[in-house]
Amino acid sequence: MMHFWIDILFVLFFAMINGSYAILVALSILDILQRRATRMPEFDSIVLSEESTPPISILAPAYNEEAGIEDSVRSFLQLVYPSLQVIVIDDGSTDGTLARLTEKFQLRPIRMVVRQDVPTQPVKAIFQSTRDRRLWVIAKENGGKADALNVGINFCRTPLLCCLDADTIIDRRALLRMVELFLYDEQQVVAVGGTVRVANGCTVKDGLVDATDLPRSWLARFQIVEYLRAFLFGRMGFNRLGGNLIISGAFGLFLREAIVDAGGYRQDTVGEDIDLVVRLHRTNLETGQPYKIVHIPDPVCFTEVPESIAVLSRQRDRWQRGLVDTLIAHRSMLFNYRYGRIGLIVFPFFVLFELLGPLIELGGYGWFLYCIFFGDIDASLVILYFLSAFFLGFLLSVQSLILDDLHTSFFRSTRQRMLLIAVAFLENFGYRQMTLFFRLKGIYRFLLGARSWGKMSKKGFTKAPLQETTLDA
C-alpha cells in the first residue's frame, strides 16, 4: 500500500511541476506579444533629446577588479541614455582597483554630505572624475556586495537606479528599453528585470557585443538553453501572476524610493538580489501600496557563463543557498492570503519546485534505485514514466527557443537552431542531473551554515589570460 502512495506522490509532483510550467509558457507568450507592442525604439531619439527623461544612476560594486574595471566603466559610460551617472563602489579592494580608476579617469576627492537612508559600513572617500563628470567612485571598508550596493543607494539622488555586476556587458540601449516600463505603465512599476544572455561565443569589441554565435563549449551551450528557459518562460510567465521573485543581480532597474522603503539590500546573505525583490513585494503588499515588478524579454545584458564544471558547481551552489536563505527568511509569506497572488501562488511555486524540487527529484531517483534493488519494479511503467518526463523536458526547452524567436532571437540560422535543438535534447543526459547535484550541494551547505560567495574564475570575453577573483561576503 505504501508503495502505491509513494508512486502517487511522485506522479502528482510530476504532473504539478509540468502543469505549472505549461501555464507559465502560455502566460509568457501573452506577455512577449504584449511587450512587442509596447517597446518603442522609434522614440529613442525623442527620449534622448528630452530634458524630462528621468535620470538614472548605475551602481557597480567592485572588489579586486583591477584587471577589468577600466573596460567595464568605459562600457557603462557608453550607454545610450541622456541623463546618466555611473557610481563605482570600491568595496575595500586589496588590489589596485582604486589606483587604476584614479589614474585612468583622473579622480579627485570631493567632500560630500551623504544621507544614510540605509545603514552601511563607513565610507572612506568619495571621488569624481575630472575626465567625465558623470563618473563617481566611492571607496569604502569591505562589507560585501550588498553593503556596497547600499552605499551606492545612499549616495545616488536619481529616481531610478540600475544595479549591475561590474563584469557584465550591457546592451547600449538597455536603459532606454527598461525605462519605458516606468514611463508608460500606469500600475506603478517599482522594478524591471531584463533577460540576461550568454556572452560565451559572442565577439566583443570595445566593450560591446559585436556578433553573436554559439560557443564551442558544450557546457556553455547547455546554459544557453537553460538561460532561455529560465528567463523567457520562467520569469516572463510570472508577470501575470503578480511578478516573479528574482531580478538578476547582473542587471536590474529599480525605483530608488522603493528600495529605500524596503530597507536596501540585505547584507548577511549570498542571495541579496532575490531577497531584495521578495522584500519589495512584501513591503508594498504590507503597506497596501500599488506596485508592479516586471520582467521583460528584451536582451539587456550579456554575462559569461562558466565553462568548467568546478566553477559551475560553485555558482549553482551559491544560487541555491541564496534562494533557500531568502525563502526561509520570508517563510511567513507562504500560503498567506495577506500577500495575495505572491503568497498564494508565486511563493509556493518557488518553495515547492525550486526549494523542495531538487530533494523530491533526488527522492525519485532514490525510490527508483530502491525498487530496482529489491526487485519490486514495474519495468514498463518506469520506462514510460521516464520517457514522458524526458520528452516533457525537451518540449519545454524547444518551447523556450520558440519564445526566443517570438521576440529577439540572436540565433537565426538553420545551423544554429538545429544545434540548439540538439542541445535541448542532450541536456537531459547528464547536464540536468549534474545541476541537480549542485543544487542539492547548495542546500546541504546552507544547512551547514556556509555563507561565502566561493571562488569564481572567468575566462574573459577576449583572449585575456585567465584571471581569478575571490568574492568573500
* Residues that bind another protein in the complex, under the rule CB under 8 A: 33-34, 36-38, 40, 42-43, 46-47, 50-54, 106, 108, 110-113, 115, 128, 130-131, 133, 159-160, 182-188, 290, 380-381, 384-385, 387-388, 391-392, 394-395, 398-399, 401-402, 405, 412-414, 417, 421
Looking at residue 245, its amino acid is L
| CB closer to another protein, 61 vs 364 | 364
- Rounded to a whole number of angstroms, the minimum distance from the CB of residue 76 to another protein is 19
| CB closer to another protein, 1 vs 113 | 113
- Rounded to a whole number of angstroms, the minimum distance from the CB of residue 106 to another protein is 6
| CB closer to another protein, 219 vs 402 | 402
- Rounded to a whole number of angstroms, the minimum distance from the CB of residue 113 to another protein is 5
| Cβ count near 368 (within 10 Å) | 15
Three-class HEC string of 256-272: HHHHHHHCCCCCCCCCH
| Alpha-carbon distances, residue 23 vs 27, 191, 405 (angstroms) | 6, 24, 19
- Rounded to a whole number of angstroms, the minimum distance from the CB of residue 203 to another protein is 21
- Rounded to a whole number of angstroms, the minimum distance from the CB of residue 95 to another protein is 26
| CB closer to another protein, 141 vs 257 | 257
| CB closer to another protein, 48 vs 329 | 48
**What is 297-348 written as a DSSP string?**
EEEEEEEPPP-SHHHHHHHHHHHHHHHHHHHHHTGGGTT-GGGHHIIIIIHH
| CB closer to another protein, 212 vs 399 | 399
| CB closer to another protein, 251 vs 411 | 411
**What is 69-104 written as a DSSP string?**
HHHHHHHHHTS--SSEEEEEEEES-SSSHHHHHHHH
- Rounded to a whole number of angstroms, the minimum distance from the CB of residue 469 to another protein is 31
Looking at residue 320, its amino acid is Q
- Rounded to a whole number of angstroms, the minimum distance from the CB of residue 49 to another protein is 9
- Read off the C-alpha cell for 375: 526487485
Name 420's Cβ contacts closer than 8 Å, sequence gap at least 6: 214, 221, 224, 225, 401, 411
| CB closer to another protein, 118 vs 169 | 118
Cα separation, 204 vs 170, whole angstroms = 11
- Rounded to a whole number of angstroms, the minimum distance from the CB of residue 54 to another protein is 5
- 3 state SS of 191: strand
Helix axis angle for 431-448 and 309-329, nearest 10°, is 50
| CB closer to another protein, 31 vs 325 | 31
- Rounded to a whole number of angstroms, the minimum distance from the CB of residue 347 to another protein is 26
- Read off the C-alpha cell for 185: 505603465
> Do 230 and 353 form a contact (C-beta atoms < 8 A)?
no
- Rounded to a whole number of angstroms, the minimum distance from the CB of residue 428 to another protein is 12
Name 329's Cβ contacts closer than 8 Å, sequence gap at least 6: 266, 269, 275
| CB closer to another protein, 75 vs 128 | 128
| CB closer to another protein, 134 vs 451 | 134
- Read off the C-alpha cell for 307: 565553462
Looking at residue 382, its amino acid is V
Lateral strand order in the sheet of 84-91? 107-109, 123-129, 135-140, 84-91, 56-62, 160-164, 251-255, 189-198, 292-303, 169-170
- Rounded to a whole number of angstroms, the minimum distance from the CB of residue 34 to another protein is 6
Looking at residue 49, its amino acid is S
Cα separation, 219 vs 306, whole angstroms = 8
